Structure formats: C-alpha cells, structure tokens
Amino acid sequence: MMTAKASDQPRTVPLSQSSPVRYADTAGHSVLRSYPAFVLLLAVLSCTLSAADFDLWGHLRFGMDILARGHLLRHDIYAYSIVALPWISHEWLSDFILASIYLHFGALGLKLLLFGCAAVTVIGIAAAVAETNASIAIQLPVLIDVILLLRPAIEFRPQLFTFAFLSILMWLLARDNYAPSRFDTRWLWMMVPGFALWANLHGGFIAGLGVLGIYSVATCVRDLLGRRKLGHAWMLGAITIVSIAATLATPYGVGTWSSVFRSLSHPAMVAQITEWQPLPAAMKFVWRSSLEARVFDILLVLTGACFAMAVIWTPRASDLPLLAVAILAIAEAISMLRNLPIALIACAAPFAKHLAIATGAGPTRRPLDPASGRASWMITQSAIALVAVVYGATTGIFSGPIKTAQIVPSGAVAFMKSHSLRGNVLCKFTWNDYLLFHESPAVQVFIDSRYEMIYPERIALEFEDFYHDRPGAARVLEAYPHDFVLLDREAAAVKLMDRRADWRPIYRDNVAVLYARTDSAAAQTPPELDAALRPRSIFP
C-alpha cells in the first residue's frame, strides 16, 4: 500500500484555488476486478433477508389483471369505498414483469429477479467505489458496510429497479468526477433511455433525476468558482433536461409525475408505517424489535459518523458535485427512513474517497500481474464463488419457497373460499393485498396498498378510526356496504365488533377473526370458531 501524496493529505482547499479532478490514469485494483467472486458473495448476502412484503400480493394481482385484460386498468376495480376513480399506476411495468415471471416460473422466478437486481446494485456500487482509485483496503470495507446496511431494503418490490438504476447512475457520475481523463461524458446520454424505462418501473426515477440535477448544478458552481469553462456543466444540464423529458414516455405522460408526487405527500396512513417515519423515530422503533435490528442501528450510526469525520477532515472542492448529492440524500434519509437506501448508494463513492485520503490509504498504482500467482488467485476465487452458491442454496435464495414478512390470514381466506363467500371486506390494512391476490374479483376491499395513489385521505382516516376503535368507528361501520370484517385478534376494533348485535363471528383462529352481518346469508354458514391453526409463513 502506498502512502498518499502530499496533495492528498488532509487540508482545506479553497474553492477559488481548486482545480479540476485529474487523478492518475494508471488504474489501481478494484474489488470488482480483483475479487469478482467476493462481489458475487456480497450480492448473495444482500438477498438473505428477503421475504414477501404485503405489497407483493398487490403487485402480482395488478399485473395479472393487466395480463388477463390485455391493457392497463385506467379506473379502480378493487375497492368499494370509492367508485371507479381514475388510477395512474406509475409502477405498471413492474407489476407486469412480476406477474409474468411469477406465472411462468413461480417463486423461483421472483427470487432470480430479485437476485439479478441486487447483483446489478452491488456491482454498480462496487464500480462507483473503484472510480475513487482508493486501495482495496478501503474499497472492501466500504462496500461491505453499504451492502450490510442495504440488506433490509432488498425486498420483492419495484424499488429493486430504482436501486439498480441509481447504482449505475452513481457509477457514471463517480467516473465523471474522479476520472474525467478516462471518461467521455457523452456516455451519460445512455441514462436518457434508462430514465424512460425507469419511469415506467418505479417512482424512484424522481430521485434519480434529483441526483443528476444536483450533480449538474454543483458542477456548474464548482467550475464557476474555479474560473473554468462551463462546457462540461452545460453538457450535464442538457442530459438532465432531456432525461426529464424522457420520463414522460409512459402511458400516462405527465400524469406519472402527479401520481409520484401524490405518493410523497405523506397521506394519513403513513403514520402507521415505519418506513415513512423520520429516521431517528424509525431507529428508535427498530431498536426495540430485535438484537439484529440494534446491530443495524449501531452500524448505521458509526457509518454516518465516519463519513462525516472523513469529509470534514479532508475537504475537497474537486468532488463538490458528489458531496452535494450525498449530503442532500442524507437529509432526505433523515426525514424519511424509506430514503435511506438512496443515501447509502449515493454516499458510497465519496465515503471511500475521503476515507482513503484521511487514512493515507492511497491508490494502488501497480496493476495486477496476470502472470504471477494466477493459479492461487483462480483457486481463491473459485472457492469464494462456491461458498456464495452454497450459501445461496442453503438459505433458499436460489431455491425453495418465499417466506412471508408477516403473518397472513390463510385460515380465514381458506374458509371464505370453501364456503364461496363473496362481497365487500373491511380488512386489516396489511392483509388487503393478500386478500385481493387470492379472492379478487370475488371480493373488494375498503382500502389497500395504493392508499397514497388513489384513495381520498378521508378513507385512510376513517379506516384508522375504525381499526383503532376511536370515536366515529361505529359510523364507519354503518356508512359503507361492508359484507364482512376481517381483523387480527389483537385489533382494538375486535372489541367493537364483539359488542355489535348486528354482526357475528363466523370464523376465528389464533391469527384472525371473520365477521358477517347477522341478517346476511353468510351468517348462516356453519361457523368455525377457535380453530387452532398455525399461521402460514410461506408465499403465496
């Protein structure tokens, strides 16, 4: 390991005296080049916490209905609390892909899709970190740290596509910032069709445009203060503008933007969902859940502290664009937990660069000699790759069923199927998509996972009133044409339902209780109460 040059020692560089980044073109080793099998192992490791989130059932149902009808659903058909409101699904292509893969390849297909997106994300982050030309001793710990913190977000959800696209974008920007003599900015034009595709997959394309826009503006500021020509900044600005225009290439045009912004407007339901909470509040909640969660919190705090100290100790005006992106991404993550993965991906490259300068762990100038030690290198890589494959197989990443992230009312749904019970179901919020997947179109629900995209806010507030048995709960029960109520046994609304003479339980196990109106035909169904059923934890 070489000692960093004097110019790389910790010092303050005034913006007015800074010069464009021109790091040595003699490429140092990167984890991606030197230890590709270890990158594979990290990609496998990133998937080990993956389980079926309640959103997955909804995405599959929506996608299967697109396939069955041969066109997009322009109006809602799943809820009875609203009447055929227009529906702009900014994740329609993800739904289509998930449903197509599931119908043809089952759970294994979904697992391979998840692994593919996770692998692209890990490779993109590794490539971005390598552009810093830091030593392997810096690249490897940073990469491991980021992947460990990213693991909880690797789920069977459309956000996988955002992680993959964003990691590729950050790699291109890191190459533009840290190795401009080896990079033609015109390669960034590839992101234009990328953004067009991204806009049809997930609303996270907004974050990607924000990253590109911030980087462009910060580059312009850096070049202005450094009294340099603005041709490069103008090129970046043009790419940003054309990329924005490309995101209109969806079935909904500008409607996609309005749908995404509505999703980000903090609807009433988000108060009950951890990922929508500010990062400090979410960490406090997570801290109480498990030992592994506490380890995650500690690692996140240490990572943030190390990043802040490294940047403060080694300020560099030359990488102002990447730092601006990282700082704003961190601010967004602090405001909302669900933005944390974006911040991790955005911070990886500048974290490695400033950590290398602060510790004196400069770049490795001597490239790997393919003639020396090649046999031992091949053996080592083969062994690591074998470990990755075996670990993936034994943990079920490449085989077996998908575990669920929550307890589902499989017994109650089986009861409804066996007795052909159809109608409107007022259901626990996180069970609605599960119910739609198994029972639509035989049933409709009061509210589902599209709460931020389609439902008026009053619907979310009314559901919260009912579920928590607040004042007004009885009015919600009486104001809509509910045929059934399906609740978890611990819900406060169970006490309300048990007090009502016009409702009676027709099914109950150790997970859920199902109610029907006393004067309905369903109420005459032979009840199954206190059925000692073990909750299913396997998708679907």
Which pLDDT score, from 0 to 100, does residue 204 have?
A: 94
pLDDT band of 100, cuts 50, 70, 90: very high
Q: What are the residues whose beta carbons fall under 8 Å from the beta carbon of 12, sequence distance 6 or more?
A: 315
What phi, psi does 466 have (nearest 5°)? -70, -50
Which of 136-145, 366-375, 451-460 has the lowest average pLDDT?
366-375
199-209 pLDDT, tens digit per residue, is 999 999 999 99
- pLDDT above 50 for 539: yes
Mean pLDDT on 392-419:
88
For residue 341, which of 157, 217, 179 has the smallest C-alpha distance?
157
55-69 pLDDT, tens digit per residue, is 999 999 999 999 999
Mean pLDDT on 12-24:
38
Mean pLDDT on 77-104:
93
Q: Please tell me the distance from the alpha carbon of residue 61 to that of residue 57, in angstroms, as a whole number.
A: 6
Long-range contact list for 526-531, CB < 8 A, 24+ apart?
A: 528/415, 529/505, 531/411, 531/507
Q: What are the residues whose beta carbons fall under 8 Å from the beta carbon of 493, sequence distance 6 or more?
A: 466, 467, 468, 469, 473, 485, 487
Which pLDDT score, from 0 to 100, does residue 272 have?
A: 62
In b/e form, how buried is each residue of 523-538, taking b as 16+ CB within 10 angstroms?
bebebbeeeebeebbe
Q: CB-side exposure of 158: number of CA atoms within 13 Å?
A: 26
Structure tokens given for 166: 């964003």
High-pLDDT (> 70) share of the chain, %: 90
To the nearest whole number, what is the mean pLDDT of the chain? 87
279-313 pLDDT, tens digit per residue, is 888 888 777 777 888 898 899 999 999 999 999 99
Amino acid at site 467: Y
Q: Please tell me the distance from the alpha carbon of residue 521 to that of residue 506, in angstroms, as a whole number.
A: 12
Which pLDDT score, from 0 to 100, does residue 267 have?
A: 58
Across the strands, what pairs with 515? 485, 505
Q: Please tell me the distance from the alpha carbon of residue 487 to that of residue 406, in angstroms, as a whole number.
A: 14
Mean pLDDT on 218-244:
91
- pLDDT above 60 for 390: yes
Domain boundaries, the chain: 6-13+35-51+88-261+272-365+374-383, 410-531
pLDDT band of 514, cuts 50, 70, 90: very high
Instruction: Record the pTM.
Output: 0.89
What phi, psi does 390 have (nearest 5°)? -65, -45
For residue 29, which of 165, 109, 133 has the smallest C-alpha distance?
133
